[in-house]
């Protein structure tokens, strides 16, 4: 077994031949995710053992819910199902979604992320992720947050919006739609607990989706955990259509 440099990549060799590789990535929530590159079947288990031995942590991966062969192979390597997530397509037409009447409650002001204080926005993102299945414990490094947000080619200041309570200056919600090639992607919609059930989330979505609709983008993609009843209810109300899904799996590390 050879740990490749640079980067978190392990390669398996049979003599002079590379017969497999696995990549590991540590997310801001402390979870290690692994992906196999081209890999001979007998190299997979030793590679995973090497990663687990180096990290000393649980290992996560994901697969398409319809890929029975991959799911069976991962089960044979010690992975079990952690959670399931659906893929959705959401219309942007406000008359279809019902968002044409969505207004921000009270004195809440909605601004572009490009006009927000970066540190405050990062902390809001961290806080909202604690209630998203599969991302509890998330805590951005400031440099990584900037790179993944404002330096991303998909960042769109017109569709990454932040809700602000002006009296306190507190950031209380956000909607993030990435301007991806093809269809835009809804990355996150969230509101802090004191401001939920007031229509703020729908108001944020309404603003972002209106921009997309005016640009001629008639659909947005999104993902949601199958156990997240609030997300399921919101998607249903918007006329979203499920197009597939993925399975997140976990391989338990040493105690």
Per-residue pLDDT of the chain (255 residues; tens, 9 = 90+): 555 554 589 999 999 999 999 999 999 999 999 999 889 999 999 999 999 999 999 999 999 999 999 999 999 999 999 999 999 999 999 999 999 988 998 899 999 999 999 999 999 999 999 999 999 999 999 999 999 999 999 999 999 999 999 999 999 999 999 999 999 999 999 999 999 999 999 999 999 999 999 999 999 999 999 999 999 999 999 999 999 999 999 999 877
Which residue bears the tokens 């994901």?
A: 62
Cα torsion at 28, 32, 33, 38 (round to 10°)?
Answer: 130
Q: What is the pTM of this model?
A: 0.92
Half-sphere exposure of 99 (CA within 13 A, CB side): 26
Return all residues near 27 (Cβ < 8 A) that are at least 6 apart: 33, 138
Cis peptide bond N-terminal to 6, omega within 30: yes
Residues in the chain: 255
CA distance 171 to 132: 18
Q: Which helix (H) or strand (E) holds 146?
A: helix 142-148
Distance CA(144)–CA(121), nearest Å, equals: 13
Among 234, 251, 248, smallest CA distance to 84 is for: 248
In terms of DSSP H, where are the helices of 149-218? 200-214
């Amino acid at each position: 077994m050879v740990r490749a440099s640079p980067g978190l990549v392990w390669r398996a060799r049979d003599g002079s031949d590379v017969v497999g590789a696995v990549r590991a990535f540590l997310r801001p929530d402390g979870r290690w995710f692994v992906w196999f590159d081209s890999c001979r079947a007998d190299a997979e288990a030793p590679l995973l053992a090497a990663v687990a031995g180096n990290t000393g942590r649980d290992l996560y991966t994901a697969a398409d819910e319809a890929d029975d062969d991959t799911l069976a192979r991962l089960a044979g390597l010690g992975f079990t199902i952690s959670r399931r997530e659906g893929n959705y397509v959401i219309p942007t037409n406000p008359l279809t979604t019902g968002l044409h009447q969505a207004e921000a409650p009270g004195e809440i002001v909605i601004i572009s992320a490009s006009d927000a204080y970066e540190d405050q926005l990062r902390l809001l993102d961290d806080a909202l992720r604690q209630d998203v299945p599969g991302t509890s414990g998330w805590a951005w490094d400031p440099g990584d947050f900037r790179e993944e947000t404002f330096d991303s080619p998909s960042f769109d200041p017109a569709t990454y919006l932040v809700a602000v309570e002006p009296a306190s200056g507190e950031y209380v919600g956000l909607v993030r739609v990435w301007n991806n090639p093809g269809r835009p992607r809804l990355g996150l919609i969230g509101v802090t607990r004191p401001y939920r059930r007031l229509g703020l989330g729908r108001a944020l979505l309404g603003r972002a989706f209106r921009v997309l609709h005016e640009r001629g983008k008639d659909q947005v993609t999104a993902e949601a955990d199958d156990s997240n009843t609030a997300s399921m209810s919101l998607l249903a109300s918007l006329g979203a259509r499920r197009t597939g899904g993925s399975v997140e799996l976990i391989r338990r590390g040493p105690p």
